[in-house]
Amino acid sequence: MREELKECRTEPIDQVKPVVLDEKRPERTVNIGLDMDPSFMAQLENCLREHKDIFAWCPADMPGIDPKVACHRLGVNPDAVPVRQKVRHFGAERTVAIEEEVAKLKEAGFIQEITFSEWLSNVVMVKKANGKWRI
């Protein structure tokens, strides 16, 4: 199945050039195609740099939607009885990956710490092709 997924991945048609949008933050880059007029390429680079503040580089850069407009709730039956999963212990490599991902999600405001939750499940981890863990 992994081979099928590799076949589905797309690659750029042309050669691309990474463009650093902010010299103070060199990790923030975009790729543009090299198959264009050099004067247009320069205009495009200038436009991208001029409007670098509209790009979202991390979840914290994306403002939330006012709950008056939209709000998400889980459709949980109030009469349902939680099923407790057996606590799983992970190896050192997996534990580090879990801690890093949880820290990122907490920093972005996507999750918050709670205690004594009845609705709790174990983390599901999948090793990616590059050796990192997907959680």
Average pLDDT over residues 60-79: 72
Encode pLDDT of 22-46 as tens digits. 999 998 899 998 888 999 999 999 9
pLDDT tens-place string over residues 96-105:
999 999 998 8
DSSP helix/strand/coil, 36: coil
Return d(Cα 123, Cα 135) in angstroms, integer. Answer: 7
Do 60 and 107 touch, CB atoms closer than 8 A? yes
Segment (H or E) for 31: strand 29-33
- Are 125 and 135 in contact by the 8 Å Cβ rule? The answer is yes
